[in-house]
Chains A and B, each alone.
Chain A
Amino acid sequence: MQDVGLKPPRSKTIHVAVCGNPNCGKTTIFNAITGLRQKVANYPGVTVEKTTGQFQLKDDPNIYTLIDIPGSYSLSAFSPDEYVAVQALLGELDKSAAPDLIVNIIDVTNIDRALYLLFQVMQIGKPVVVGLNMMDLADKRGLTIDIPRLEKELGGVPVIPLIGSRGKGIEELKAAIALQASVPHVPHRDFYHPLIGLTADKMIHQMQNGHVTRAEYLRVLFDINGPAEKAFIKEHGEKGKILLDDGRKSLIGEFGSLTIAETQSLTQRAAQVTEKSVHARRSTSRSRSEKIDKYLLHPVLGPIVLMLIMGFIFQSIFSWAEPIMNGIDSLFGALAGWVGSSMAEGPLQSLLVDGIIGGVGSVLIFLPQIIILFLFIAFLEDSGYMPRVAFLVDRAFSWCGLSGKSFIPLLSSFACAVPGIMATRVIEDRKLRIITILVAPLMTCSARLPVYAIMIAAFIPYTILLGFLNSHGVVLGMLYLLGLIVAVLVSLILKRTVLKTQRGTFMMEMPSYKVPTLQSILVRVFNRAKSFVLRAGTVILAITILIWALSYYPRAGDASTDYQSRIASIESTTSQQVAMIDAEISRLALSPEQQEASLFAGARFALVESPDELAAVRDELYLLRPDQLAAVELSHFRRTVELASLEQIATLENDRAGAHLRNSYLGRMGRTVEPLFAPLGWDWKITMATLASFPAREVIIATLGTIYNLGSGVDEGSSSLVQKMRDAKWEDGAKAGLPVFSPAVALSIMVFFALCCQCGATVVTIKQETGAWRYAIGVFIYMTVLAYLAAMLVYQLFSRIGW
């Protein structure tokens, strides 16, 4: 509370970095502190995700901005991804948001190892607050922690006991952050061997580089060929190199190796600190997790349970998402219909209906699958089962350059590549993650199914093979297999060329099983969904509008007015006929009640569906007088006339839409590039429909529907589209008069769709997840080229054997 006349204290932003080992419960605590006040972004140029959040305290004008530093066991960094986390912690990445204070979350059941990171973090020279998490587990494991003693052993660093899963200690942690942030001087706390400190200080002294912390010099010293060393040599050249070699030599002379120099001194100190402040009543067992693992990692039972869980997840992405997706679809369909009918026809109406509403709908349609998949992933990660999944299946993936961690992303991609690619965040290794992202779109996603369904049903002869396999199923299975095989080949090639991976790196912890907290799961799912809608959504919308414009313009006047006048003439003829019939009815001079009764009976007669109903209506008709019966007949006739005219108008409208599409820029493009697709056996209609389906492959069916003048409302079950396609003949050229579609053409279309990246959302998501357009464009190009070549091969092969 401020007294009148006093200036309110100035509000400052205090940057707080939150670091800790993987699986220490850091994210749960981060979510508990900040709630939904979070922002997820990528660090520039790398795949590392950067989550920031905020909190404020009562009677404290400052805003505390928290940065979630990716979990790590040490500050030593060998890959750019690891280094970016270290740089964020050191404040080298964004000087304006350099941490003013560091919170180090420690899993109390693994305090030994966690202190190692803490000792390194203390070298940064910022105030540090320790959050001692999982205090409830400490009790169960028979650990007693003497907190004041621990604080003393750590040189006065405040230690706040926490139970992240129950939100206990969060307020105390916030208060400690605020208190430490206001401390003007940070005491020097060094847990390294004195010789290491001396070596580092010598380098700092000689380089006279005030802004670089001791922690960073230690990284230069210890991480051989690491990014810190490279940056140092680049900056200081030969002089720096000599100094560094000197320092390393003296350390190797004393300790034997650089790794031992750092790890030995720190782990010994960690053991000392633990010994004095943590008392174990009985041996620290992992009995509960170990008991569960007896079953879940059992050589036979383990894989069975895994398959059941994965089957369940996979099934739910499909079946739970589908009704919601249909709901979104029909909601946007209804919205489009409403807007379409309440606005005058024209470019603005079409932009709104087909461009914007259609585009927003095509973004939101992904949400159910993303949300469902990430509910499961958050649950699997928080419960501790995720590393077990990777453990169980790693061998099946490692031979072709992937890893067990690629399993869930790739499995999810069978439903939809967008959440699948987002799920690669569980893979820490950058190259591995990129390989997984690059092959994920080859998995047969659910959007390919309608295309396969209509092509197979229309053009693949149904036969029984080997007595039990039906040819339709075999072709479908082959298409799934094709995606898999190509994915394996691509990752084998990538592993050996562009993204050479180190020989196996699969070191990871198998955390204890935990019951996940609902809040943490929901926050994570919410962040995923939000970032997809905001970041991918905008680009997808832009692509949709671009394709809309290409297929809408130019609006040639002639064809349009011709159809307009024909429609108008049908309408006027119909209204004349209706007027005549009405006149006939009124000549019968029935009372209003009689007239209504006969109209009603007539309507019922028209709607008769079963013999029972017919009998009932007939009984009703017997009660009518002859003039009333005449009225019934007339009103029935009137209805027939109206329906016929509506049908004629619909046909004309469809013809008009087809003519427009043919004449549009997209249609012209289709005809221009037709020769390019001739080796695939395609005519310009297929070519154009395929071009139109690059933002979303399932669009091809609606586009084919429009080209074949069926209106755009057709779906994969449409028998009229099947018939139209079967009847389609080449319009000119050498094959004029011959059917366009044959089994070979259908196969070439399906193979093209199996391998091509016709999904704007996928391309945008790849850009978003890798932080670089070159991967997104790379995927698009390699898949399109591959699809083209494979489709050509298939057509040339099968058309020669007469398919």
Chain B
Amino acid sequence: MTYLNKLNPGQRAKVVGYRHDSPIARRLTELGLIPGRTVTYLRNAPLQDPLEIQVGPSCLSLRHAEASLVAVEVEEPTSL
């Protein structure tokens, strides 16, 4: 198990849970980062932070600090 911010661009992973319950965790859940869903790490911004992920049909942008709250299980090796 690792955290969402530790992935590399192109990697896919399954959301496992959150570090702790907080308003940020709740907002991320509402945005679609629900345990069991698959996320794809799309890219970093030109200055590294924030990052972009895809979950379901939507693409989300969040900062590394926020992504570090999301516990994930890597689904497949880096496809880059």
Enumerate chain A residues within 8 angstroms of B52, measured Cβ to Cβ: 297, 391, 510
Q: Are B27 and A112 in contact (CB under 8 A)?
A: no
16 A–B contact pairs at CB < 8 A? Answer: A110-B57, A258-B21, A260-B21, A263-B30, A293-B59, A297-B45, A391-B52, A395-B45, A398-B63, A505-B27, A506-B61, A507-B27, A507-B31, A507-B60, A507-B62, A510-B59
B34 at the interface (CB under 8 A from A): yes
B43–A73 CB distance below 8 A: no
When distances are taken between beta carbons in the complex, the residues of chain B under 8 Å from A224 are 21
Contact among B29, B43, B58 with A263 in the assembled complex (CB-CB below 8 Å): B29
Which positions in A face B, CB cutoff 8 Å?
73-74, 76, 78, 109-110, 112-113, 116, 141, 224, 257-260, 263-264, 267, 284, 286, 289-290, 293, 297, 299-300, 302-303, 387, 390-396, 398, 404, 503-510
User: Do residues A257 and B45 form an inter-chain contact, with CB atoms below 8 A?
Assistant: no
Is A396 in contact with B58, judged by CB distance below 8 angstroms?
no
Contact yes or no, B58 A76, CB < 8 A? no
Judge whether A257 and B21 touch: CB under 8 Å. yes
- Give the residue of B30, B35, B49, B59 whose beta carbon is less than 8 angstroms from that of A116: B30
Assuming A297-B43, A299-B46, A395-B48, is B26 touching A286 (CB within 8 A)?
no
Docked CA distance A303–B45 (Å): 10
State in angstroms the CA–CA spacing of A621 and B60 once bound together: 85
Q: Provide the residues of chain B in CB contact with A396, threshold 8 Å.
A: 47
Q: Which of A141, A267, A398 contacts B49 (CB 8 A)?
A: A398
Contact of B46 among A78, A264, A303 (CB under 8 A): A303
Which of B48, B56, B59, B62 has the largest number of chain A CB atoms within 10 A? B59
CA of A116 to CA of B27, assembled, Å? 12
A-side binding surface: helix, strand, loop or mixed?
A: helix
* Distance, CA A507 to CA B32, complexed state (A): 11
Q: Which chain B positions have C-beta within 8 A of A398? A: 49, 63
Q: Are B60 and A510 in contact (CB under 8 A)?
A: yes
B16 to chain A, nearest CB (A): 12
| Chain B residues whose C-beta falls within 8 Å of the C-beta of A263 in the assembled complex | 26, 29-30, 34
Secondary structure class of chain B's binding surface, majority of residues: mixed
Closest 9 CB pairs of A and B: A395-B47, A510-B59, A73-B30, A257-B21, A504-B63, A78-B23, A263-B29, A74-B30, A504-B65
Chain B residue at minimum C-beta to C-beta distance from A120: B30
- Tell me whether A394 and B50 are in contact (CB under 8 A): yes
Closest to A284 in B: B57
B49 touches A73 (CB 8 A): no
Which among A141, A257, A390, A503 has the highest number of chain B CB atoms within 10 Å? A257
CB closest residue in chain A, given B34 = A267
B57 near A76 (CB under 8 angstroms)? no
A110 to B54, CA, bound (A): 12
Kindly name the residue among B18, B23, B28 whose own CB sees the greatest number of chain A CB atoms within 10 A: B23
Residues of A within 8 A of B63 (CB): 394, 398, 504, 506
Q: Are A113 and B43 in contact (CB under 8 A)?
A: no
| List of B residues within 8 angstroms of A259 by Cβ | 18, 21, 25-26, 29
Contact B28 A507 (CB under 8 A): yes
User: Which of A284, A290, A303, A508 is within 8 Å of B61, CB to CB?
Assistant: A508
Residues of the A chain whose Cβ atoms lie less than 8 Å from the Cβ of B47: 393-396
**How far, in whole Å, are A506 and B45 apart by their CA atoms in the complex?**
13
Neighbouring A residues of B42 by C-beta, 8 Å: 293
Q: Which of B31, B49, B61 has the most CB of A within 10 A?
A: B61
Determine how close the nearest CB of chain B comes to the CB of A245; give it in whole angstroms: 16
Q: Are A109 and B61 in contact (CB under 8 A)?
A: no
Determine the residue in chain A with the shortest Cβ distance to B67.
Answer: A507
Beta-carbon contact of B23 and A510 below 8 Å: no
Q: Are B60 and A509 in contact (CB under 8 A)?
A: yes
| Closest-CB distance, B24 to chain A (whole angstroms) | 7
Q: Taking the nearest CB of chain A, how far is it from the CB of B55, in angstroms?
A: 9
In the complex, the chain B residue whose C-beta lies closest to that of A303 is B46
Which residues of A sit under 8 angstroms from B18, Cβ to Cβ?
A: 259
Is B73 on the interface with A (CB-CB < 8 A)? Answer: no
**B30 engages A506 (CB within 8 Å):** no
